[in-house]
């Protein structure tokens, strides 16, 4: 089918996607929600531990669980997964914001109690009672009045009040759980961003997380309808052996890992595109993509393997990222260049890459024929995705990336030898790794350990035993350069 310049521009302008952010209402959420059966299993009340990286889809899962129409649609498509038949309420167990301690408060409590597991378990119990305040009966409200009225930012006071009413608190949640069973209701308490509690004392932070895990390992079987959802970042879960101990083993046997195969990444992207407009749906169908149509989930692409998406990618961009195959095939290029050093990619980064490329293309059209995006726009969009990805990480789980960026600046391109990289990291090692007044330390005790940690986190990629590179997902965001690649202009 031939396409005029005006038609191409109109389609490109409508290619603004929502970059994986949850919408509002069943229609919006259904349009953007891509159903991965293993991910949906995280909503099973029996599953407490969910392991995944930022951008893996935790927000969308939570939105799906609290939307009756969307939950019903998911159940129809995944009949073997148990989501609970009654109403579902979600509460936030962490981050607590003004209702909980700040970074100093958590660290001071953990250090002041010498990382005492019992004290930390009881503190998490105290904050659970406060989180469930509006669910508790009148008897509990009266017995626990002082605990519920205590300032959340003072963990010592909350802990002291809890120790005086511990038995009453336990009985209150027991009664709540029985009431929920009778009413066919569920209350899920979500704990997210646990690796961002504080960044100045990694041992103390591990103790705080261990206290939470230990608490729920002890009560997950006691309460049937008051359920926890503990979201742990993949590297944190695998690296911290003191956290992944006997307590977490009780929860890990039935854990869910939010990982994305190439098949599901492409399917999620096509679903985003096709449900933006009738014209874009038709554009996808002309590429040979078949869809199943649903009232809530809307147009769902029938992608049984990653290769099924190739005709769509080659129609959207082109077969190659240049005049020939020297710069790579577009089908593999777009995923390979948003992967971290561990080879993992998120739908959020993929959708954002296409969105940013569409913005650039609409402002300076270079595509021709039936293609909506040019390789040049896509390559320039990659830099914007990298900047966004690093900036987001700096403001959440990796604030020490600011210090890393400062120490890695060179007048030449990557890669580096290990000795050279360690020497760069050693510069001002004991100084603050953040520009603000908050004390931030890297997640390692020595430059050698930090190199290994960077590899484990996927920020740095090992090229053999002693050479290290930086994946494109972090390269531009860290203000680094590499020779070669697709032309930017």
Residue 9 within a domain: yes
Find tokens 């930390």 and name the residue.
120
User: Picking from 124-138, 183-197, 293-307, 340-354, which range would have the lowest pLDDT averaged per residue?
Assistant: 183-197
pLDDT at 330: 96
Last residue of a domain, one of 394, 417, 435: 394
Residue 485 within a domain: no
Assess contact for 74 and 40: CB atoms under 8 A.
Answer: yes
Highest mean pLDDT among 289-298, 409-418, 428-437: 289-298
pLDDT at 447: 96
pLDDT at 24: 47
Last residue of a domain, one of 258, 283, 315: 258
- Spatial neighbors of 256 by CB under 8 A, at least 6 apart, are 38, 39, 41, 42, 47, 49, 50, 51
pLDDT at 20: 38
Please compute Rg for the chain using Cα positions: 25
Nearest Cα to 64, choosing from 50, 54, 52, 74? 74
The conformation of residue 372, written as its DSSP 8-state character, comes to: S
Q: Return the percent helix, strand and coil in the chain, to nearest 5.
A: 55, 10, 35
CA distance 88 to 84: 8
Assess contact for 89 and 45: CB atoms under 8 A.
Answer: no
pLDDT at residue 487 tops 60: no
Q: Report the residue count for the chain.
A: 489
The verdict on 465 and 344 lying in the same domain is no
The verdict on 213 and 281 lying in the same domain is no
Which residue pairs from 355-358 have beta carbons closer than 8 angstroms and sit at least 24 positions apart in sequence? Answer: 355/15, 355/16, 355/17, 355/19, 355/381, 356/381, 356/384, 356/385, 357/381, 358/12, 358/13, 358/15, 358/16, 358/17
Q: What is the pLDDT of residues 349-369, one digit of tens each?
A: 999 999 999 999 999 999 999
The verdict on 168 and 194 lying in the same domain is yes
Look up the pTM and report it: 0.87
Residue 265 within a domain: yes
Alpha carbon dihedral 229, 351, 270, 49, in 10-degree steps, equals -10
pLDDT at residue 244 tops 70: no
Q: Based on the number of CB atoms within 10 Å of its own CB, is 405 exposed (0-12), middle (13-18) or buried (19 or more)?
A: middle
At 168, list the tokens: 């009453």
The conformation of residue 369, written as its DSSP 8-state character, comes to: T
The verdict on 335 and 223 lying in the same domain is no
Is the pLDDT higher at 313 or at 17?
313
Total domains present in the chain:
3
pLDDT at 56: 85
The verdict on 61 and 13 lying in the same domain is no
Residue 315 within a domain: yes
pLDDT at residue 15 tops 60: yes
* Banded pLDDT at 117 (limits 50, 70, 90): confident
The verdict on 297 and 428 lying in the same domain is no
Say what percent of the chain tops pLDDT 70: 93
Between the alpha carbon of residue 453 and those of residues 75, 99, 329, 435, the distances in Å are 40, 32, 32, 22
Residue 69 within a domain: yes
Is the pLDDT higher at 198 or at 458?
458
Is the pLDDT higher at 280 or at 30?
280
CA distance 392 to 30: 26
Q: What is the pLDDT of residues 456-480, one digit of tens each?
A: 999 999 998 889 999 999 999 999 9
For the chain, how many helices (H) and strands (E)?
24, 10
At 181, list the tokens: 């069973």
Residue 25 within a domain: no
* Banded pLDDT at 197 (limits 50, 70, 90): confident
pLDDT at residue 80 tops 80: no
Q: What's the whole-number mean pLDDT along residues 385-393?
A: 95
The verdict on 376 and 349 lying in the same domain is yes
pLDDT at 353: 96
Residue 28 within a domain: no
pLDDT at residue 275 tops 90: yes
Neighbours of 98 (CB within 10 A): 8
pLDDT at 246: 67
Q: What is the pLDDT of residues 141-160, one digit of tens each?
A: 999 999 999 999 999 999 99
CA distance 265 to 335: 9
pLDDT at residue 61 tops 50: yes
pLDDT at residue 242 tops 70: no
Between the alpha carbon of residue 172 and those of residues 100, 144, 191, 393, the distances in Å are 21, 9, 21, 39
The verdict on 238 and 273 lying in the same domain is no
- Spatial neighbors of 244 by CB under 8 A, at least 6 apart, are 237, 238, 252
Q: What count of Cα atoms within 13 Å lies in the side-chain half-sphere of residue 39?
A: 22
The verdict on 232 and 271 lying in the same domain is no
The conformation of residue 92, written as its DSSP 8-state character, comes to: E
* Banded pLDDT at 236 (limits 50, 70, 90): confident
The verdict on 305 and 325 lying in the same domain is yes
CA distance 310 to 315: 9
Q: What is the pLDDT of residues 83-116, one digit of tens each?
A: 766 788 889 999 999 999 998 999 999 999 987 7
The verdict on 70 and 195 lying in the same domain is yes
The verdict on 270 and 285 lying in the same domain is yes
Residue 484 within a domain: no
pLDDT at residue 249 tops 70: yes
CATH number, domain of 192, equals 3.40.50
pLDDT at residue 304 tops 80: yes
pLDDT at 198: 74
Backbone φ, ψ for residue 369 (5° rounding): 65, -135
Average per-residue pLDDT for the chain: 89
Assess contact for 165 and 154: CB atoms under 8 A.
Answer: no
Q: What's the whole-number mean pLDDT along residues 326-354?
A: 94
Last residue of a domain, one of 239, 258, 277: 258
Show the domain range for 448.
401-478
Q: What's the whole-number mean pLDDT along residues 246-266?
A: 87
């Amino acid at each position: 089918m031939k396409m005029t310049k005006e038609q191409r521009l109109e389609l490109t302008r409508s290619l603004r996607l929502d970059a994986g952010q949850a919408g509002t209402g069943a229609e919006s959420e259904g349009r953007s929600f891509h159903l991965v059966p293993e991910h949906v299993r995280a909503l099973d009340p029996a599953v407490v531990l969910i392991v995944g990286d930022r951008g893996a889809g935790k927000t969308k899962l939570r939105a799906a669980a609290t939307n009756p129409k969307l939950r019903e649609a998911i159940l129809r498509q995944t009949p073997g997964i148990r989501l609970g038949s009654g109403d579902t309420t979600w509460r936030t167990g962490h981050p607590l914001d003004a209702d909980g301690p700040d970074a100093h408060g958590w660290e001071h409590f953990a250090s002041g109690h010498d990382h005492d597991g019992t004290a930390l378990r009881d503190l998490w119990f105290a904050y659970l009672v406060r989180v469930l305040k509006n669910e508790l009966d009148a008897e509990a409200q009266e017995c626990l009045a002082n605990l519920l009225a205590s300032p959340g930012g003072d963990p010592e006071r909350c802990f002291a009040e809890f120790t005086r009413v511990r038995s009453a608190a336990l009985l209150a949640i027991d009664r709540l759980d029985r009431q929920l069973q009778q009413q066919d209701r569920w209350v899920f308490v979500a704990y997210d961003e646990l690796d961002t509690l504080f960044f100045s004392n990694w041992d103390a932070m591990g103790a705080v997380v261990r206290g939470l895990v230990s608490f729920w390992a002890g009560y997950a079987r006691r309460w049937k309808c008051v359920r926890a959802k503990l979201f742990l970042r993949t590297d944190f879960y695998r690296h911290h052996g003191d956290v992944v101990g006997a307590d977490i083993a009780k929860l890990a046997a039935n854990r869910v890992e939010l990982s994305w195969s190439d098949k599901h990444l492409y399917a999620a992207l096509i679903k985003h595109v096709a449900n933006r407009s009738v014209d874009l749906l038709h554009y996808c169908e002309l590429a040979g993509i078949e869809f199943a149509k649903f009232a809530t989930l809307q147009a769902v692409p029938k992608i049984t393997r990653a290769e099924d998406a190739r005709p769509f990618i080659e129609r959207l961009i082109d077969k190659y990222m240049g005049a020939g195959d020297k710069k790579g095939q577009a089908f593999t290029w777009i995923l390979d260049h948003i992967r971290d050093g561990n080879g993992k990619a998120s739908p959020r980064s993929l959708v954002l890459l296409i969105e940013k490329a569409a913005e650039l293309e609409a402002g300076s059209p270079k595509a021709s024929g039936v293609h909506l995006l040019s390789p040049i726009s896509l390559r320039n969009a990659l830099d914007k995705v990298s900047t966004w990805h690093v900036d987001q990480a700096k403001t959440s789980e990796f604030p020490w990336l600011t210090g890393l960026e400062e120490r890695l600046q060179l007048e030449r391109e990557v890669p580096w030898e290990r000795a050279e990289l360690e020497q760069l990291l050693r510069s001002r090692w004991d100084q603050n790794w953040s520009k603000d007044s908050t004390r931030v330390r890297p997640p390692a005790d020595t430059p050698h350990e930090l190199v290994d940690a960077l590899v484990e986190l996927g920020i740095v990629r090992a090229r053999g035993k002693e050479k290290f590179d930086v994946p494109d997902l972090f390269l531009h965001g860290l203000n680094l350069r590499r020779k070669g690649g697709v032309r930017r202009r």
